Amino acid sequence: MYGKRSVKEQLLTKIEGHSAIIAVIGLGYVGLPLAVAFAERGFPVVGVDVDAAKVAALNRGESYVQDIPSARLAGIRFKVEGRNLEPDTLNLQPSTFNLPLPGTFTATTDYSVLAHCDAAIICVPTPLNKTRDPDVRYIIASGESLAQHIHRGMLVVLESTTYPGTTEELLRPMLQQSGLRVGRDFFLAFSPERINPGDPIYMVENTPKVVGGETAACRDVAVALYAQIIQRIVPVSSTQTAEMVKLLENTFRAVNIALVNETAIMCDKLGIDVWEVVEAAATKPYGFMKFTPGPGVGGHCIPLDPHYLSWKLKTLNYNARFIQLAGEINSDMPRYWVNKVMEALNDAGKPVRGSRVLVLGVAYKKDIDDVRESPALDIIELLQAKGADVRYHDPHVATLSHNNHTLTSEPDLDAALATADCVMVVTDHSSYNWLSVRQRARLVVDTRHVL
């Protein structure tokens, strides 16, 4: 091959020269920051998403992701001959699609643009379905689109959190239908996302990135790509290894949160203040990591990711007991805390039925507006099932619809506090004045130890 550079070498040259056209599939809290980071590094970047509203907003320079202010989009606005194209002209058919220029970002709903891209990074959701089993439909949809447009010299990276084996057993066969061979004609890798929304310290650029390839060449190309924007790359020996790294990271959290939640239950039975125990244990300078008890575990990562691992092991006839137990303990915390409310009302001579309970904070953790898998949803449902008149207040969540119930946040917090028979602190948003809550509330059940 003297003189004829290999497909890998040609792609590496484009990557190192920042001329490789990069596609990011899925423009959520993971995909958008990644796309922006590559564009700001000088790459031509196209974002692909099925949601036309998101695509139009981005092409208007409007961001809907908290960590990416719209001003950052303006800096990488897609320009042709130095002028900003109107949004509707950006969504042309691929044949007339103006491919992004170096250092710019544009968005489209048309997957056929992938035929013009040198790299495609898949950042689509991996939820659980009704039976709490992995739902990889979005990975499959992306794989199907890529299979139609994959070409020689293309790198595909999967970032979505999923069970070990997804890249090799699910994605690779779909892409090889093209007749192209992985590791020679195209490259396939897995690299877990570690985006932490709202984190003021850890961004895309300074969070170490684990990368595993289907072959050594796949790993090399993926490592080279991420090395253009991320300070520290951590190559591992396979895509399964990289998939497993992410699941260990989040299972570690789920199990330790469950441990501290069970510790809270044990301390309650022992008449010991678990918060004092945790604070004192946290003074241990080595070999301990602080977790805090709470109303349960919400979000789109921690309650779900471990089940991707336990599901895979079940197919191998192994029962991942820690994951099972952590899930049981964490998902039973809403019931534990609702019982606390019942006991408190009972001590005040009030039945739950007909009592007004004000839930303070419904987001799954403080200072965000995301209610996915939030324990507040279970708490409200349990209280309603017992006949309580449930109200809520959350400065970040105006309306809450769950199991075809729709509640709206109480407009007047002080009045809501004063008229509630019991106030339940579920999410400890920083904006609350806890002294005022304590003064106005007749009765408080505090799941976050803020009072």
Backbone angles phi, psi at 128, to 5 degrees: -105, 150
Residues near 200 by beta carbon (within 8 Å), at least 6 away in sequence = none
Q: Does 327 bind ligand SAJ (CB under 6 A)?
A: no
User: Shortest gap between Cβ of 134 and ligand SAJ (angstroms)?
Assistant: 16
At its nearest, how many Å lie between ligand SAJ and the CB of residue 94?
A: 32
Instruction: Give 224 or 362: the residue with its C-beta nearer to ligand SAJ.
Output: 362
105 with 39: CB under 8 angstroms?
Answer: yes
Backbone angles phi and psi of 280, in degrees to 5: -70, -40
Which CB atom, from 178 or from 292, has the smaller least distance to ligand SAJ? 292
Under the criterion CB under 6 A, does residue 249 sit at the interface with ligand SAJ? yes
Q: How far is the CB of 257 from ligand SAJ (least distance, A)?
A: 4
Q: According to CB under 6 A, which one of 46, 55, 297, 425 is a site residue for ligand SAJ?
A: 297
Task: Find the binding residues for ligand SAJ in span 254-273 (CB under 6 A).
Answer: 257
Q: Three-state DSSP class for 119?
A: strand
Binding segment for ligand SAJ among 61-69, 231-239, 263-271, 297-305 (CB under 6 A)? 297-305
DSSP class of 166: I
Bridge partners, 189 (sequence order):
157, 213
Positions in 182-211 near ligand SAJ (CB under 6 A): 193-196
| Residues acting as catalytic residues | 301
Q: Using the rule CB under 6 A, give the single segment among 16-24, 246-254, 270-278, 389-397 that binds ligand SAJ.
A: 246-254
CB of 294 to ligand SAJ, least distance (A): 3
Distance CA 190, CA 242 (A): 6
Contact status: 302 vs ligand SAJ (CB under 6 A): yes
Nearer to ligand SAJ, 128 or 443 (CB): 128
Is residue 28 a contact point for ligand SAJ (CB under 6 A)? Answer: no
Give the nearest distance from C-beta 443 to ligand SAJ in angstroms: 23
CA 51 to CA 28: how far, in whole Å?
A: 10
In whole angstroms, the minimum distance from the beta carbon of 305 to ligand SAJ comes to 7
Residue 330 Cβ vs ligand SAJ, minimum distance, rounded to whole Å: 8
Q: Which of 37, 301, 304, 380 binds ligand SAJ (CB under 6 A)?
A: 301
For ligand SAJ, the closer of residues 8 and 253 by Cβ is 253
Is residue 111 at the binding interface for ligand SAJ, with CB under 6 A as the rule? no
Cα 6 to chain centroid, rounded: 37
**In this complex, which beta carbon is closest to ligand SAJ, that of residue 77 or of residue 449?**
449
Q: Any contact of residue 61 with ligand SAJ (CB under 6 A)?
A: no
Q: What span, in angstroms and rounded, lies between the C-alpha atoms of 234 and 232?
A: 7
Q: For the chain, how many residues are written?
A: 451
Instruction: Tell me the CA end-to-end span of the chain in Å, nearest whole number.
Output: 72
Amino acid identity for residue 328 in this structure:
E
Give dist(CA 228, CA 42) in Å, integer.
10
291 scored as a contact of ligand SAJ (CB under 6 A):
yes
Task: Looking at residues 128 to 187 of the shown chain, list those that interact with ligand SAJ (rule: CB under 6 A).
Answer: none
Question: Contact 341/422 with Cβ under 8 angstroms?
Answer: yes
Nearer to ligand SAJ, 47 or 298 (CB): 298
User: Which amino acid is located at 349 in the chain?
Assistant: G
Strands 422-425 and 405-408: unpaired
d(CA 362, CA 110): 36
Site for ligand SAJ in 347-376 (CB under 6 A): 364-365
Between CA 121 and CA 159 the distance in angstroms is: 7
- Of 328 and 414, nearer to ligand SAJ (C-beta) is 328
How far is it, in rounded angstroms, from Cα 443 to Cα 347? 10
Q: Which residues pair with 52 in a beta bridge?
A: none
* Interface residue list for ligand SAJ (CB under 6 A): 193-196, 249-250, 253, 257, 291-292, 294, 297-299, 301-302, 364-365
